[in-house]
Amino acid sequence: MKIPDILKKIIVEFCRLFLGAVFIFSGFVKAVDPMGTMYKTMDYLSAFGLDIFNVSVLPLAFAQSAIEFAMGVCLLLGVYRRFHAVLFLAFMCVMTPLTLYLAIKNPVTDCGCFGDALVITNWQTFYKNIFLLAASLVVFFEYKRIIPFFYRKKFSVTFFVYAFILSVSLYCYLYLPILDFRPYKIGANIPELMVVPEDAPTDEYETTLIYSKDGVEQAFTLEDYPKGDTAWTFVDTRTHLIKKGYKPPVHDFSITTEEGDDITEDVLKDASYTFLLIAHKLEKANDSKIELINEIYDYCTQNRYKFYCLTSSGTNEIKEWKENTGAEYPFCIVDDITLKTIVRSNPGLLLLKKGIIVNKWSNRRIPDEKALNRLPEDSQWGQIPPNQEGCTVGLLSFAFVLCLFVFFLNDRRKKLKKNTNNHS
């Protein structure tokens, strides 16, 4: 039985829209957080024993987000239809078996395909890719049914799409992500995000006892193991997680001084302002603004604000940083992953008050001496700014669509002029 053309057209259009939307979303959320994409890629390389390639991870993070975003946009616009139909199918033919392996072996807890915007399990990722693979097959065999929006300016449009998304990535890399999907966003109340509800489910584990008899090992549960039977010899105990419990958004925030004292509660309960210099690896930190950082510490000392440098580096690295920069501020030890999650800059600066993140800056936007002429409560940077994320994304989207529309009008004008000339 043949499928009617109208139904074929509907199926192709649905698959085109589905593929395009997923890839645009996936590429964009990676693009606004290139450092997060880089960290996730490094996790993959470590899991597969390919740490030697870590030096090229950042360019790869830029390229991955740009290619995914551009593939989605070009498919929706019908630009280079055949090329992108082949590209989508090749991409999904690689990713689908790869995500099946990840789901079975679980070397990385989540795939990171949607960054921190939408965290899904490896099995959910595999099921998603099954649908994407099916959609890419439909597009591959029926790409001619996709109506192109552009006839002449295909290269110009493709170049613009790549330039746009790479510019967004570069801006977010130099400064901070324009969309923050992590729990440590501006305005977040860290103590509240650390609370575990009383009725929250806890982790469930299964314990297996290994006993040996006549040289043969056998596994038992805690209920049926051969208690008191001397014929069996205990060998080992194995415990594995069978069901995850509730994990609060912030579950690993702990600050320890060089002397080993835990000051987490003191920092989070401080009713005044606290400045936290975040440098997850001092040996890799950018020291171009070190004089300004030292001035901020002096400012804190004069106005009785607390100032700490949070790092995961060791004693030798801290000593070397002090010697090279003249730093007099106290250093505290915090988990490396936590610090990289708090701010995507090394170093970056965080402003806290009563455990609430009032503001944070990348190394390139640390408040200067003009801003330090006033107290935080009397200045704009010392107040929680209004959430501009929606407005920023809206303006970016409007500018992007407007440019595409200009391309479209110019393309149609030239096509109409060409047709007119042919008829005359």
Does residue 369 sit in helix, strand or coil? coil
Query: Looking at the predicted structure, is the pLDDT value of residue 415 above 70?
Result: no
Are 65 and 37 in contact by the 8 Å Cβ rule? The answer is: yes
For the residues 200-220, what does the mean pLDDT come to?
84
- Counting residues of the chain whose pLDDT is more than 90, the rounded percentage is 58
Q: Residue 412: what pLDDT?
A: 79
Q: Residue 1: what pLDDT?
A: 45
HSE, side-chain direction, 13 A CA sphere, residue 132: 25
Task: Pick 373 or 324 by higher pLDDT.
Answer: 324
Query: Looking at the predicted structure, is the pLDDT value of residue 220 above 70?
Result: yes
- DSSP-based helix, strand, coil % in the chain, nearest 5: 55, 15, 30
Please, which pLDDT band fits residue 339 given cuts at 50, 70 and 90? very high
Task: Pick 423 or 243 by higher pLDDT.
Answer: 243
Q: Residue 3: what pLDDT?
A: 65
Q: How far, rounded to the nearest angstrom, does the alpha carbon of residue 279 sit from its chain's CA centroid?
A: 18
Please, which pLDDT band fits residue 91 given cuts at 50, 70 and 90? very high
Mean pLDDT of the chain: 89
Task: Pick 421 or 65 by higher pLDDT.
Answer: 65
Please, which pLDDT band fits residue 9 given cuts at 50, 70 and 90? confident
Domains of the chain: 5-174 (no CATH), 256-382 (3.40.30.10)
Distance, CA of 248 to CA of 89 (rounded, Å): 39
H-run or E-run covering 159:
helix 154-174
Q: Residue 304: what pLDDT?
A: 92
- State the Cα angle at 339 between 337 and 342, rounded to 5°: 110
Query: Looking at the predicted structure, is the pLDDT value of residue 239 above 50?
Result: yes
Distance, CA of 330 to CA of 259 (rounded, Å): 11
For the residues 43-57, what does the mean pLDDT come to?
79
Q: Of the ranges 86-100, 329-343, 368-382, 390-404, which one carries the lowest mean pLDDT score? A: 368-382
Q: Of the ranges 11-20, 221-230, 373-382, which one carries the lowest mean pLDDT score? A: 221-230
Q: Residue 228: what pLDDT?
A: 74
Q: Residue 200: what pLDDT?
A: 83
Q: Of the ranges 189-203, 226-240, 326-340, which one carries the lowest mean pLDDT score? A: 226-240
Query: Looking at the predicted structure, is the pLDDT value of residue 206 above 50?
Result: yes
List pLDDT tens digits, range 12-32: 999 999 999 999 999 999 999
State the CB neighbour count (10 A cutoff) for residue 352: 21
Q: Residue 283: what pLDDT?
A: 93
Q: Of the ranges 57-66, 325-334, 403-412, which one carries the lowest mean pLDDT score? A: 403-412
Task: Pick 244 or 37 by higher pLDDT.
Answer: 37
The CA distances from residue 328 to 27, 282, 307, in Å, are 42, 15, 10
* Model confidence, pTM: 0.87
Q: Residue 419: what pLDDT?
A: 63
Q: Residue 209: what pLDDT?
A: 85
Q: Residue 116: what pLDDT?
A: 87
Residue 44 in tokens:
């993959």
Query: Looking at the predicted structure, is the pLDDT value of residue 399 above 70?
Result: yes
Please, which pLDDT band fits residue 418 given cuts at 50, 70 and 90? low
For the residues 293-307, what does the mean pLDDT come to?
93
Strand partners, 189: 356
Q: What is the DSSP letter of 152?
A: S
Q: Residue 2: what pLDDT?
A: 60
